[in-house]
Amino acid sequence: MNYELFKSIHNLSGHSQVLDNFMVFITNNAIYMFALALLILWIFGGKTIKRAVLYAGGTGLIALVVNVLIAQIYYEPRPFVTHHVQTLIPHVADSSFPSDHSTGAFTIAIAMWFRCKNIGIPMFILALLTGFSRIWAGLHYPFDVVGSLIVAVVVSYVIVKLSRLFDPLINWIISTYDSIFGKKNRSNKSSRT
């Protein structure tokens, strides 16, 4: 069933250069788009947004560590290793389950959604597109992406439940940042007046 689902999505590739290029762009660059979004939110956001950014980034890193542990326990060959699949981009033949790109994208989006829904929702749409693009490009099975979503939900939920443990560190990072960079901004504003 997993392979049949994979074929139904991957077989859409190769018919439109525009769509293929779009999917390759997403599969290669979505993680950088998430990183850029977090950086912009950190720079221009208030304390609440900064907290959401730190939690989203930290939760994403923890989820990727969970992926590494899963890959050590369970090895799933990639579709192009097991079957005759023409990938849109080259990739090493490491474990397919779960998808690291999808896990990172889903986890950042879900962690952000827990704290700031209006930002988390568009991020989640981009995460769905990221997972879909990984299948389209021939790099992952659909269940790899579903596995990534499950890892993202579980890790994000656990971190939310344990946030009281992390809050002192998060608050310290924000206050340290504000004490270093906030004073410069205040002194620049006061020198202009």
Phi, psi of 29 (to 5 degrees): -120, -5
Share of the chain above pLDDT 90, in %: 78
> Which CATH architecture is the domain 2-174 placed in?
Up-down Bundle (1.20)
pLDDT tens readout for residues 119-172: 999 999 999 999 999 999 999 999 999 999 999 999 999 999 999 999 999 999
pLDDT at 1: 84
Angle between helices 17-44 and 117-136 (to 10 degrees): 150
**pLDDT of 28 higher than 80:** yes
pLDDT at 92: 85
**pLDDT of 190 higher than 60:** no
pLDDT band at 183 (very low <50, low <70, confident <90, very high): low
Mean pLDDT of the chain: 91
pLDDT band at 182 (very low <50, low <70, confident <90, very high): confident
Please state, in angstroms and rounded to a whole number, the distance separating the CA atoms of residues 37 and 62. 19
Domains of the chain by residue range: 2-174
Please state, in angstroms and rounded to a whole number, the distance separating the CA atoms of residues 182 and 193. 17
pLDDT tens readout for residues 70-103: 999 999 999 988 888 889 888 888 889 999 999 9
**pLDDT of 47 higher than 90:** yes
Q: Rounded mean pLDDT of 36-63?
A: 95
Which tops the pLDDT comparison, 193 or 54?
54
Please state, in angstroms and rounded to a whole number, the distance separating the CA atoms of residues 87 and 81. 11
Chain centroid to CA 190: how far? Answer: 40
173 burial type by CB count under 10 A (0-12 exposed, 13-18 middle, 19+ buried): middle
| Closest residue by Cα to residue 178 from 186, 189, 169 | 186
**What predicted TM-score, i.e. pTM, was given to this entire model?**
0.88
